[in-house]
Structure 1
Amino acid sequence: MVLWIILAALTAAVAAILILPFARATKTASADRAGEVAVYRDQLAELDRDRAQGLIEPQEAEYARAEIGRRLLAAAGAGEADGIAAPKTRKHGLATAIVTLVPPVVGLCLYLALGNPGLPDQPLEARLANPGNNVALLVAKAERHLAENPDDGSGWDLLAPIYLRSMRLGDAEMAYRNAIRILGASPVRLAGLGETLVASNDGIVTEDARSVFEQAVKLDPDNPRSRFYVGLGLEQAGRAAEARAQFETIAKASPADAPWMQLVNQHIAKNGGTIVPGRDTAQVPGNPSQADVAAAETMSQGDRQAMIRGMVDSLAERLKQDPNNLEGWVRLVRSYSVLGDKPKAEAALKSGLKQFPSSGELVALANEMGLAVEGVAQ
């Protein structure tokens, strides 16, 4: 309530300051003209007295009377002009008053009608205390808490994956390392740190990253994701036999219809191995069936290309409906690249990175295929 009174007083003071000069101007001008006319009339009366007493020659008296009369007429005419201009000045004063007073009055009325003056303010402290679903406020609250309590491992553990999804890779690495230092290593924390390091190096699994993934595999040997990155790191280092062994281990431990099987088999073949029996991916959605393969063998080159294009487009449509499929995006990007459709390959890569922003496979694929997409260094 005090604030309202202060604002109202300030508005009134500003309005008065703007209007006051217009009110004073007319009064001052009128008073000055009236005093000037009275002076000239007194001079004429004095001139008549001097002439009657013989103090001035008649001819000089006439010259003086003519000059005083001219000045008197000029002053009187100016006074009349002021009288004529006064209504205009009053009109200008009225316009000024309207312009000065109407906007704040209208604004106040609109706020009272449409606003909520009874709603209490909510400073940053209150918003941080109740951030709701606002991720930015959640992050700000956690960061503020950690600035005061840097040894709170759970806070770092909470922030790390958020930083990674937001591609704040430097902050994500710091958060993961702090969480591991305080809370200890776990497969999830180690895998998160490893993926952060891969993303920071444009899809390259560095020695540091591979070491982290190897620690994660020791804690959880059945985690195909960490083991895949170990194999990818060995492959990038030119250690094909060791990489193939990692990928074959993943293939043997995975169900036949696992969505990552095609990608794993590609890396097995790339490193000189053969697809594990019973682990082919013919029945994985988006891959050709045995009947499709048989039919393709009897087709012309043009019909075969049309069939392949239709299968790729079908995979793209399924990914639009169910985008939470990393292996599907990798398959789609590679398929468009093989078909020579670089614009669609880049569009698919960009869509995949939006869904999986920290995916080392997609980043590595972008470098392998020479694709340029925002956020991926070539």
Structure 2
Amino acid sequence: MIFWILVAAMTAAVAAVLLYPLLRGAKAAADDRAGEAAVYRDQLRELDRDLAGGLISAEEADYARAEIGRRLIAVSGAASEPSRPRVGRHLFTETFVLLLLPLVGLCLYTTMGRPDLPSQPLQARLEHPGNDLAILVSKAERHLAENPDDGKGWDVLAPIYYSTMRIDDAELAYRNAIRLLGPTAARLDGLTETLMKRSDGTVTEEITAVLKQLLQLEPDNPRARFYMALGLEQAGQKQQALAGFQALAKASAPDAPWLPLVNEHITTNGGTPTQAQPLGNPTQADVAAAEQMSTGDRQQMVKGMVESLNAKLTENPDNLEGWLRLIRSYAVLNDREHAVDALKRGLATFPANGEKGKQLLALANELGIATEGLTE
């Protein structure tokens, strides 16, 4: 009820502000005409005094009196109907301000707003944020301001900061989480990505120290191994960088999503790239045939294998491993449109809220495939 009273008061105030110039203009015009009439009456009285004092002749007095009288009649006639010109000029404007403006505002509010919702102050929104990321972050920040040693809070907030490109805040959150909860592969990996974003892709000494700590916990971490090799490449140590990229390629699955990028760096450093197979478990005949093919023919063979798997999944969609391979295969082929389509079809069989659906979404996030709108 208070809300509607405030709305009515604000509407009345706006209407008054808009109408004031119109009303004031009409009143000013009426005041001007009344002033002119008073001047003409003074002139008539002065004319009589001049005639009585012999300053002017009777003929001149009659002529002047006729002219002043004509002007006085004209002004008095206009003053007797002050509203006519104003109505003609401002009727539509006043109608719009008094009636249509509030009506338009109410229609817009009922269409675009949520009048059915009760009023909810900031405190209540913070206690029940729902899916509002900004409120979730605000709530977490307020909590951490009061409890700066809550490592779990920093751990939750760090990836959110990174995803919203608050890089400095993300670094602080990751470092606090590591300091309070201890280093884990996930936290060190997130810190690495944050520092790489801040350095615009340059592997600094600070990043190298974090990578070494990460590899102690997870020696086979492909991201850490890639960045270590990249740091050697940026430092001009091409042979060591090549060895690092080749070791990563050898340890990677044939359909690993990072393999094409690794192959690019192998080529850059003078090596021979490893050919990626988008599907797992190729037959010996497939391998032998691929070795004899040109690059274009090999690519066609790969696409044929992907289409074959796609056809099998269309006939029998209840195959989680098949969907995972198909999504990864399209990503390796840099065919994002078909990768998203495969993800949608896979989620139609394995809903996003189920364990298998979560595996599909996790793979999509790993490959950088957008999942917005697919989890509802």
**TM-score, with length taken from structure 2:** 0.59
**TM-aligned CA distance change 1:122 to 1:323, over 3 Å:** farther
What is the match of residue 100 of structure 1? 97
In 1: Cα distance, 2:215 partner to 2:140 partner: 30
Deviations 1:194-231 (Å, cap 9, x if unpaired)? 4444555555655544443443444455x543773587
Match of 1:308 in 2: 298
Instruction: Find 1:290's aligned residue among 284, 288, 300.
Output: 284
CA apart distance, 1:24:
2.5
Give the Å deviation of 1:185.
2.0
Q: Hey, what does 1:10 align to over in structure 2? A: 13
Match of 1:339 in 2: none
Matched letter for residue 189 of structure 2: A
Match of 1:345 in 2: none
**2:184: which partner in 1?**
186
2: CA distance, partners of 1:170 / 1:110: 44
Tell whether the 8 Å contact from 1:164 to 1:172 is kept in structure 2 after alignment. Answer: yes
Cα distance 1:18–1:78, how it changes in 2: closer, same or farther (>3 A)? closer
- Residue 151 of structure 1 deviates from its aligned partner by 2.0
Structure-2 change in CA distance of 1:294 and 1:82 (3 Å): same
Q: Distance in 2 between matches of 1:141 and 1:150?
A: 13
Partners of 2:109 and 2:68 in 1: CA distance: 60
Q: Counterparts of 1:144-183 in structure 2 under 5 Å?
A: 144-183=142-181
Secondary structure at the residue paired with 1:188? Answer: helix
Equivalent of 1:73, from 70, 81, 102?
70
Change (3 A) 1:263 1:128: same
Cα distance in 1, alignment partners of residues 159 and 207 from structure 2: 16
CA displacement, residues 21-71 of structure 1 (integer Å, 9 cap, x when unaligned): 2443464456456656666776788789x5xxxx759x9223323322332
Match of 1:64 in 2: 61
Query: Is 2:143 aligned against 1:140?
Result: no
In the alignment, residue 279 of structure 2 is paired with which amino acid?
P
**Corresponding position: 1:225 with 2:222:** yes
The alpha-carbon distance between structure 1 residues 354 and 38, as it changes in their structure 2 partners (threshold 3 A), is farther
Structure 1 pair 264–6 and aligned structure 2 pair: CA distance change class (3 A): closer
One-letter identity of the residue aligned with 1:212:
V
The 3-state SS of whatever aligns with 2:57 is: helix
* Matched ranges for 1:203-218 at <5 A: 205-218=203-216
1:76-91 paired onto structure 2 within 5 Å: 76-80=73-77, 87-91=84-88
Deviations 1:48-96 (A, max 9, x none): 9x5xxxx759x92233233223322333244446668863344235345
1:29 and 1:273 map into 2 onto residues whose CA distance is 95
1:312-351 aligned within 5 A: 313=303, 332=333
The equivalent of 2:107 in structure 1 is 110
Residues of 1 paired with 2:59 and 2:32: CA distance?
31
Q: Distance in 2 between matches of 1:185 and 1:235?
A: 25
- The 1:128–1:112 alpha-carbon spacing in structure 2 relative to 1, beyond 3 Å, is closer
d(CA) in 1 for partners of 2:365 and 2:187?
21
Higher relative contact order (CA 8 A, sep 6+): 1
Alignment root-mean-square deviation, CA: 5.3
CA distance in 1, matches of 2:128, 2:143: 14
CA contact (8 A) 2:37 2:75 kept: no
The alpha-carbon deviation at position 285 of structure 1 amounts to: 0.8
Q: Residues 246 and 198 from structure 1, CA distance in 2 versus in 1: closer, same or farther, beyond 3 angstroms?
A: farther
* Alpha carbons 2:171, 2:194 under 8 Å: kept: yes
CA 1:162–1:246 in structure 2 vs 1: closer, same or farther (change >3 Å)? farther
Whole-angstrom distance in 1 between the partners of 2:256 and 2:285: 21
TM-score, length basis structure 1? 0.59
Larger Cα Rg: Structure 1 or Structure 2? 1
Q: Once the 2 structures are TM-superposed, how far is the Cα of residue 104 of structure 1 from its aligned partner?
A: 2.9
Change (3 A) 1:42 1:286: same
Q: Is the 8 A contact 2:43 2:68 kept in 1?
A: yes
1:16 Cα deviation (Å)?
Answer: 5.5
Shift of 1:116: 4.7
Equivalent-residue separation in structure 1 for 2:212 and 2:80 (angstroms): 99
Q: Determine what percentage of the aligned residue pairs are the same residue.
A: 35
